């Protein structure tokens, strides 16, 4: 019973932390999508897409980090690992697909695939900038 409660608690914390972590990427994606589409896009759907993407990123990157045995800092070996880079590229594809399929424009038409790519590229550029800055500390 203790194991079940520990797993349930871990899943709940995983979702809560991902929910908090999805706010900044969704704001970046929303601004880029609004600029690129030339019309308003629905923010709560952008947040949902970024939340799904964030859950996937935490799962995949956590598995890669655990496989490499890097659970504590410094994280520079993790950032320079090819397996981690492949996981990040896969997460970008999942993020683009989540944005493209889930985010409508205000006129109920789907956003363009190129707009989803631009939004995910902007989010990943900011993320990589922060990650490399923190890894060099």
Q: How far is CA 64 from the centre of its chain?
A: 15
Tens digit of each residue's pLDDT (9 = 90 or more) over 127-137: 888 877 876 76
pLDDT given for residue 51 in this prediction: 93
* Triad 129, 33, 130: Cα angle to 5°: 10
Task: Give the residue extent of every domain in the chain.
Answer: 15-135
Token match 């939004």: residue? Answer: 119
Average pLDDT in the 40-66 region?
90
Nearest Cα residue to 48 out of 12, 99, 89, 88: 99
Tens digit of each residue's pLDDT (9 = 90 or more) over 68-122: 887 777 777 777 888 888 888 899 999 999 999 999 888 878 899 999 999 999 9
Average pLDDT in the 32-59 region?
91
pLDDT given for residue 88 in this prediction: 87
């Amino acid at each position: 019973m203790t194991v079940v409660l520990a797993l349930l608690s871990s899943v709940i914390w995983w979702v809560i932390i991902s929910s908090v972590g999805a706010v900044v990427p969704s704001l970046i994606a929303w601004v880029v999508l609004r600029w690129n589409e030339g019309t308003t896009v629905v923010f709560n759907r952008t947040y949902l897409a970024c939340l799904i993407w964030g859950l996937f990123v935490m799962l995949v990157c956590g598995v890669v980090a655990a496989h490499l045995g890097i659970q504590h800092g410094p994280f520079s070996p993790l950032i320079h690992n090819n397996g981690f880079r492949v996981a990040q590229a896969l997460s970008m594809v999942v993020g683009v697909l989540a944005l493209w399929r889930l985010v409508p424009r205000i006129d109920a038409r789907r956003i363009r695939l190129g707009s989803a790519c631009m939004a995910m590229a902007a989010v990943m550029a900011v993320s990589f900038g922060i990650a490399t800055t923190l890894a060099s500390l």
